[in-house]
């Protein structure tokens, strides 16, 4: 086989190996066309590597390399026990399209663990070596970061294979870590919030990752997220990292189906907005257990069409669905609302409530088809996630007084409840006071009216009493003195009248002891009665 055929076959193989089995066949047919010799060579390479998985290079949790791998006399396993620089290779822990990753220990103490990535035997073509060197360059540009697997060494083996040595990350994929620890929605958002600054750091250092997915975001046992695999990452032309400078692709469309942005699958220039999209897909999957699109059995052309044209269901809706998907080993598994809720230690109703509204809008904004309508930066994406956790308004939703008031009440439930109770008490107290005052005023007016009426009645009674007194006095004066004394037959009647008149004045005096006129008339009547009795001989 000539070198040109080998180089072309290796190029197609390195891209095909990144695809799922369903997508790979159509891709290879399209790339090879009518070149039967090229097609046969690529299929031969794929047959030799039927257990190839997505590029996951730095953890034993990524690929089970104990099944279906070449025997001990193959180049991959023949590296076990070999020494590269100060490192002794212990075992194969991962493999991908262009390289194998081995767990190694430092020969000096056999304690310090590292991961060594080597170009696979037979794939040291110019394009793959270039990609390999690009990964080293990108990692070097990022320097040391606590959440990025760091490069500690690089070089070539004795037979000329490039390699580099990286920090060994013993962790789980972020989705598996969340499910195995039964993290709640809030805990998943907090963990995800710790991932965002790492990607923002890469963007600020002019690096687009281009392959963000759960298997490239590992979480250690102590909860530290670590970003790995910059195999297809690219340096931007500008160090500002704000996504304004476009990345022109000069090579094939290298991406992971299901996580690639619309502009990535269609071969358009990329900005940091592509990473925003991919991170949105990861968040969608971490929150719901589902991917935004079902691409397991789609051809490459169908996959591109779906990503470009279909809108994903809302996270709050997709958690109600049951689905069958293929895992990394090729086996199928069921995704049901029961399993999703079990791995989140919650109920489906509560999970829907948590996802509905703000989270729906935030995730869908990150997944917008138009890069300009996504979050402008990872930092802005992270800010909205923090706003959800803290209960503040998010930028993904239209701003309004009603929305802000609702969020204020939700995050200040106890103070608002207390203030409401105080306000109700104050209003109730005010109403009670007003009612009391109205009632008191009514009673006062009623009492005043009664007093006035009583006074009027008293005055009327007083006038009537005075009138009666006047009648008695006038009658006694005008009649008794002139006529009764002259008629003996009327003497008994006169005596009776005098007694009645005296009783009348005494009664009037007892009722009004302070009335001087009554007192005077009573005295006058006593004198008159005494004179009358004396004249008749009764005294």
Q: Which residues are catalytic?
A: 211
Please state the φ and ψ torsions of residue 242, each to the nearest 5 degrees: -100, 10
In angstroms, the CA 162 to CA 133 distance is 8
Q: Which residues pair with 335 in a beta bridge?
A: 323
Polymer length of the chain: 539
Which residue from 169, 173, 166 is spatially nearest to 135, judged by alpha carbons? 166
Angle at which helices 126-142 and 3-16 cross, to 10°: 50
Determine contact, residues 341/347, Cβ cutoff 8 Å: yes
First to last CA, the chain: 174
In angstroms, the CA 224 to CA 458 distance is 97
Q: Which residues pair with 89 in a beta bridge?
A: 104
CA atoms within 13 A on the CB side of 525: 26
- Alpha carbon distances (Å) from 54 to 94, 121, 175: 10, 18, 16
Q: Which stretches of 392-412 are DSSP H helices?
A: 401-411
- Alpha carbon distances (Å) from 200 to 56, 64, 268, 344: 22, 32, 22, 28
Determine contact, residues 225/198, Cβ cutoff 8 Å: yes
């Amino acid at each position: 086989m000539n070198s040109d055929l080998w180089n072309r076959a290796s190029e197609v193989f390195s891209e095909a190996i990144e695809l799922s089995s369903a997508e790979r066949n159509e891709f290879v047919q399209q790339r090879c066309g009518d070149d039967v010799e090229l097609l046969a060579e690529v299929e031969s390479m794929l047959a030799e590597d039927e257990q190839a998985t997505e590029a996951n290079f730095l953890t034993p949790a990524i690929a089970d390399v104990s099944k279906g791998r070449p025997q001990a006399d193959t180049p991959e396993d023949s590296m076990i026990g070999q020494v590269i620089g100060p490192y002794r290779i212990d075992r194969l822990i991962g493999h991908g399209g262009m390289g194998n990753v081995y767990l190694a220990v430092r020969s000096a103490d056999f304690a310090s663990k590292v991961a060594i990535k080597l170009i696979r035997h037979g794939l040291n073509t110019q394009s793959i070596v270039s990609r390999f060197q690009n990964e080293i360059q990108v990692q070097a540009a990022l320097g040391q970061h606590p959440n990025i697997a760091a490069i500690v060494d690089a070089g070539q083996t004795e037979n000329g294979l490039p390699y580099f040595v990286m920090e060994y990350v013993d962790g789980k994929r972020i989705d598996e870590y969340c499910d195995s620890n039964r993290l709640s929605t809030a805990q998943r958002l907090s963990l995800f919030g710790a991932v965002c600054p790492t990607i923002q750091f890469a963007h600020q250092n002019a690096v687009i990752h281009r392959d963000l997915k759960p298997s490239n975001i590992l979480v250690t046992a102590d909860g530290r997220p670590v970003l790995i695999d910059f195999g297809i990452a690219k340096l931007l032309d500008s160090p500002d990292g704000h996504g304004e400078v476009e990345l022109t692709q000069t090579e094939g469309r290298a991406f992971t189906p299901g996580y690639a942005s619309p502009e990535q699958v269609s071969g358009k220039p990329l900005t940091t907005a592509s990473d925003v999209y991919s991170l949105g897909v990861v968040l969608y999957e971490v929150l719901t257990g589902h991917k935004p699109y079902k691409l397991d059995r789609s051809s490459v052309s169908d996959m591109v069409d779906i990503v470009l044209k279909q809108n994903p269901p809302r996270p709050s809706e997709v958690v109600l669905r049951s689905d069958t998907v293929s895992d990394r080993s090729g086996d199928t598994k069921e995704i049901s609302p029961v399993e999703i809720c079990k791995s989140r230690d919650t109920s489906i109703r509560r999970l829907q409530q948590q996802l509905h509204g703000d989270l729906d809008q935030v995730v869908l904004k990150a997944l917008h088809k138009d890069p300009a309508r996504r979050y402008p930066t990872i930092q802005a994406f992270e800010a909205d996630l923090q706003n959800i956790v803290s209960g503040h308004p998010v930028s993904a939703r239209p701003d309004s007084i009603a929305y802000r008031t609702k969020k204020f009440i939700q995050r200040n439930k106890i103070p608002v409840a207390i203030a409401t109770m105080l306000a109700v008490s104050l209003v109730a107290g005010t109403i009670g006071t007003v009612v009391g005052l109205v009632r008191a005023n009514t009673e006062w007016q009623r009492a005043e009216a009664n007093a006035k009426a009583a006074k009027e009645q008293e005055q009327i009674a007083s006038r009537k009493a005075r009138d009666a007194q006047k009648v008695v006095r006038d009658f006694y004066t005008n009649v008794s003195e002139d006529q009764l004394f002259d008629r003996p037959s009327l003497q008994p009647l006169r005596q009776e009248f005098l007694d009645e008149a005296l009783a009348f004045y005494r009664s009037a005096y007892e009722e009004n002891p302070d009335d001087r006129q009554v007192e005077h008339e009573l005295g006058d009547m006593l004198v008159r009665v005494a004179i009358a009795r004396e004249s008749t001989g009764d005294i």
